[in-house]
Amino acid sequence: MPHDTAFSNSLTGVKSKGFSGFLVYGPYIEIMEAMTYAVELSYITTNKKGTYAGKFDINLSKRKEDNTFDFIKAEECFLEFTDTKIKKATLYFDSSTYIGYKVEFRVFVETGIDLYAFQIQTGKVDKPHFYYHDTTVCSQLEAEIDVFPRKYQRLRIILFRIRAIAIQPRVIFKNPVLLKKSLQQKTAKLLDKVKAQIISCIRSIDYKEGDIIEVPVRIDHLPRQLKNQFYKKFEVINAESLCDDCYGIHPLQLPLVCCKYMPRNEYGLYQRVWTQEMVKELRALAKSKNDYSCEGYRGSVLQHYAAFDKIQVEGKKTMVIGSVSPWLECILLAYKAKEILTIEYGTISYDGKDIKVLDRLKQPLPPPETYDIVCSFSSIEHNGLGRYGDPIDPEGDLNTMNEIFNVLVTEGIAVIGVPVAVNNVLVGNGHRAYSKEYIENHLFKILDIVAYPYGATKVNYTKDKTDWQNQPVFIMQKPLCRLPHSLVSIVS
């Protein structure tokens, strides 16, 4: 494709040299039929100057009878800075009124910006692409890039360049299979040589306390010091799997009532937006002791009815740790709790006053000994795994128990549900499951287990290592004299 500004063209794609102009434009394909086009640009910027890195647009042209040209700009969008991460810009346009025009896609770069344009993938909406770009050869490298510490910037750029070898734009109209085979043959040999060295380099980097690990991340892709700490305590299975809940909530995690009110994003996932109408309806269901448990945690609501029937909730200050919807908070409201504070990794939008919310990543925790009851269900086992945007911390679950211990008043109550199993299991970056021995002697050691909603005999330490839905609730009390985990390890 043509260029009208200084550029370098290598296996990395097309890179600007700091001068403004069209880095890429073309390829002047004639529109033959009415359809809706989807055009997607993949690019990276490695510096930041001004408001935007540039523009991406769709330009149409047609030769008129007098040999002059008619130019039309169909669609455009600004290119945001990517901070060395691959980003995509997508445009859509309807060609029904432009039959006979020639279409070109243009990437305009601003002065002083270093921008890599990797691929422009184009096709009919809901139809196979007529541009083909092979990224399968480098798919494994992408995960390695995402977890690479930001401070090793030079090697991050090398990784991006290696990945880009296989995604240069190629225009095809007849045989995508042959093109794909050709691309793979040309790139596979070089990739095989460098891939093992780069991955080895990443995994052997000396991790220092305070280094930023970008999340979510596969457990097996962590620096070895962190990875070994997870392997010491847990049998790790599916270490290559990746759970990413930073972008939204899966419907299985929500009561059907909440799905009516909470908006979805472009990925089809629900957002943490709570409304007073939703809380009102959930509270009414809780008052009548209706089982509105979500599909993923059947019986969880009934467990909490049984738990709160055993303790005094009315008039108490309560806290909920980890919440994607206010189902648990509304049970506390139905039991007439005096105050409810919800703590979550991420921002919760709520327009009511009966539930307060706190973003754990941005706001400090409440002072010690301020809450009578702390509740948490299906949350502690995730802490420190990065699945929900929280920092990587092999001791994340124990540190959360320390926080619960600190905010509870003496003889305060903790109502906590976690997955249990015969042995300690870590399922990728998804969740932990705890054995009976670990729960009693480590996780809940700083509290006294005083009751179970359905009795101790109903707790099933399952042999199924991946059964994340088996989450019994434990009712515990903060004793008169007990040290938190951090001090227990020091004095023992």
Question: What are the Cα distances from residue 398, in Å, to 222, 341, 382, 487?
Answer: 20, 21, 11, 12
Instruction: Report how far residue 52's alpha carbon sits from residue 81's, in angstroms, rounded to the nearest whole number.
Output: 7
Rounded to an integer, what distance in angstroms lies between the CA atom of residue 242 and that of residue 216?
Answer: 7
Q: How confident is the model at residue 441 (pLDDT cuts 50, 70, 90)?
A: very high
- The one-letter amino acid code at 481 reads C
Per-residue pLDDT tens for 235-275? 999 888 888 787 788 888 999 999 999 998 877 889 999 99
Confidence class for position 455, pLDDT limits 50, 70, 90: confident
Pick the CATH number of 251-491 from 3.40.50.150, 1.20.20.10, 3.40.47.10, 3.30.1370.60: 3.40.50.150
Axis crossing angle, helix 139-147 with helix 153-164, rounded to the nearest 10: 170
112: left (phi over 0), alpha (psi -120 to 50) or beta: left
Q: pLDDT per residue over 409-428, tens digit each?
A: 999 999 999 999 999 999 99
Whether 171 has a pLDDT exceeding 50, the answer reads no
Tell me which of 48-57, 171-180, 209-218, 394-403 is least confident. 171-180
Structure tokens belonging to residue 269: 């996932």
Which tokens sit at 89? 């810009």
CATH 2.60.120 residue window(s) in the chain = 7-194
* CATH class for the region spanning 7-194: mainly beta
> At 473, is the secondary structure helix, strand, or coil?
strand
What are the DSSP calls for 91-125, one per residue?
EEEE-TT-TT-EEEEEEEE-TT--EEEEEEEEEET
Q: Which residues pair with 13 in a beta bridge?
A: 10
Mean pLDDT across the stretch 459-471? 84
Q: For residue range 91-144, what is the model confidence (pLDDT) as tens digits?
A: 888 888 888 888 888 888 888 888 888 777 776 654 433 333 333 333 344 444
In the prediction, which pLDDT does 125 show?
A: 57
- CATH 3.40.50.150 in the chain: give the residue spans: 251-491
Provide the pLDDT for residue 172: 35
At 158, the pLDDT band (50, 70, 90 cuts) reads very low
**C-alpha of 376 from chain center:** 21
| pLDDT at residue 322, as a whole number | 94
Of the candidates 301, 319, 314, the residue with the CA atom closest to the CA atom of residue 355: 319
The answer to whether the CB of 413 falls within 8 A of the CB of 477 is: yes
Question: What is the residue-averaged pLDDT of the chain?
Answer: 79
Tokens of residue 391, six digits? 């920092």
Q: Which of 293, 361, 358 is nearest to 319 (CA)?
A: 358
